[in-house]
Amino acid sequence: MESGVVESFSTVPPWLQVVGILSLSFVVAKIIEVVGRYLLRRSPTDGKSRHDQILIEETYVPLYVTVFLIGVYISSQLLEQGTVGIYVANVAVSIILIVWAYAVSRIGSRIITVRTDTPSGREIAPIIRNILTFFIVLGAFFILLSVWEIDITPLIASAGVIGIVLGIAARDSIGNFFGGISLYLDKTYKVGDMLQLESGQRGTVLDMSIRSTTILTRDNVAVTIPNAEMNSTQVINESAPNRRRRIRLDVGVAYGSDLETVKETLLSVAAEERLILDSPSPAVRFREFGDSAITAQLQCHIENPGLRARARHRLIEGIDRQFREKEIKIPFPQRELTFFEADNEISISSKSVADRPTATVVDEPGESNTIDERPESNLVDERPESNGAGERAERSPDRDTEKRGDADR
């Protein structure tokens, strides 16, 4: 495109070409300026048009500056190729780059401010603006070095090494930092929401920072949790998408109770309680036939999840009082144990002469246990030794045979 413009003016003297290009670029720049001001006066300042107004306010100046500097750049190409021409061209490109970097930074900052008009957003918005500005300035700096033909390879290598060192040294802080940004962008929760964490902790969000989140528990204790942990665990937001919540209360009634009376009683208790909303209206559902009772479930809504414990407490008091007045029984679990009797017999018999006495145990219903024992027979009948020296008792073979017979019997 540039070569075509140069060739079209090849027959015109160079100084006249420069004057013509600069004049044309100046006129176009003024037209852009006038149109931009007109659009600013006509554009409204509310709703989604606020973003359009920001774009017009921050881009019309860089546009007409860019148009004029493009004319300067083309004019520099018509001059004799030397130090002055190259210097003018590089200056023009550098100014264009700086102007647009500043414009992009301003657009991002203003849009972030508009989009984060909340307590937590106002706290995190400056950090996001600083990060955006840092990367824009860093990118513009490296591009400027390339325009002026400065070798940036050593700088890129050094920046990479420094980034690795900082990442290792501050990995926890960096994790919390990016966790906070992720939580904010995902809009997981905001200040004032009721949260229930995976660890079982439950409370109201008291403060959100770029590093941690603070919740206030029901015991009026402030708990600070790192954003990296909040971003990696399950978080139940009981206040989203709206703060109205349903509570369910199970009540067991005895078998044989009038279920219609039970239903009317539960609904009357819910209607008398001021913490229970009239819309959606309370309802009663019978869930199952339990082991000892029929399970009825009272379903009603409360305005705020923080009222759940108080509402359940009052409902239980009212249901117990009404059930006593109307003689509706809430049974307690019962178990019936049955024992079956059977004949048991244990027999131990002796088959060897070395065994213990034989015993028989008989257990019959209605009768006492009987143990029949037979004493062990004497297997050896020994005579005392005589008092005479060198004498010993003698046993006849017939006597031994007779004793073994007795033992067999």
* CATH (domain of 286): 3.30.70.100
- Rg over alpha carbons for the chain, rounded to the nearest Å, is 49
Tokens 């603006």 sit at which residue? 129
Q: Tokens for 135?
A: 């990367």
44 and 160 both lie in a single domain: yes
Does the residue 350 lie in any domain? Answer: yes
Longest dimension (CA), the chain: 165
Q: Would you say 194 and 202 are in contact if contact means Cβ atoms under 8 Å apart?
A: yes
H runs (alpha helix) in 170-287: 171-186, 227-232, 259-272
Domain end: 142, 169, 196, which one?
Answer: 169
Question: What is residue 328's predicted lDDT score, i.e. its pLDDT?
Answer: 94
The pTM of the whole model exceeds 0.85: no
- The SS3 assignment for 327 reads coil
CA neighbor of 248 nearest in space, from 196, 315, 161, 329: 315
Report d(CA 259, CA 297) in Å as an integer.
Answer: 12
22 and 109 both lie in a single domain: yes
Domain end: 112, 143, 169, which one?
Answer: 169
135 and 208 both lie in a single domain: no
146 and 291 both lie in a single domain: no
Does the residue 22 lie in any domain? Answer: yes
Q: Tokens for 353?
A: 């002469």
Does the residue 122 lie in any domain? Answer: yes
Residues near 28 by beta carbon (within 8 Å), at least 6 away in sequence? 64, 67
Number of domains the chain is built from: 4
Does the residue 279 lie in any domain? Answer: yes
Q: Would you say 72 and 25 are in contact if contact means Cβ atoms under 8 Å apart?
A: yes
147 and 292 both lie in a single domain: no
Q: Tokens for 228?
A: 């990296």
233 and 367 both lie in a single domain: no
Cα–Cα distances (Å) from 150 to 49, 154, 209, 404, in that order, read: 43, 11, 41, 123
Question: What is residue 2's predicted lDDT score, i.e. its pLDDT?
Answer: 53
CATH at 196:
2.30.30.60
Question: What is residue 45's predicted lDDT score, i.e. its pLDDT?
Answer: 56
Which mean pLDDT values do the consecutive 10-residue runs of the chain (409 residues) have?
54 73 84 81 62 82 88 78 75 92 90 72 73 88 87 79 80 80 81 89 87 90 91 88 91 94 95 93 94 93 91 95 94 77 55 46 44 44 45 46 46
Report d(CA 138, CA 153) in Å as an integer.
Answer: 15
Q: Tokens for 380?
A: 């050896």
Question: What is residue 158's predicted lDDT score, i.e. its pLDDT?
Answer: 80
163 and 89 both lie in a single domain: yes
Which one-letter amino acid corresponds to residue 23?
Answer: S
116 and 214 both lie in a single domain: no
Does the residue 54 lie in any domain? Answer: yes
377 and 267 both lie in a single domain: no
Does the residue 174 lie in any domain? Answer: no
Does the residue 331 lie in any domain? Answer: no
- The SS3 assignment for 117 reads coil
Question: What is residue 214's predicted lDDT score, i.e. its pLDDT?
Answer: 92
Residues near 153 by beta carbon (within 8 Å), at least 6 away in sequence? none
Question: What is residue 122's predicted lDDT score, i.e. its pLDDT?
Answer: 66
Chain CA centroid to CA 260, Å: 43
Q: DSSP code of 101?
A: H
223 and 256 both lie in a single domain: no
252 and 228 both lie in a single domain: no
Does the residue 212 lie in any domain? Answer: yes
82 and 160 both lie in a single domain: yes
Domain of residue 315 covers 245-325
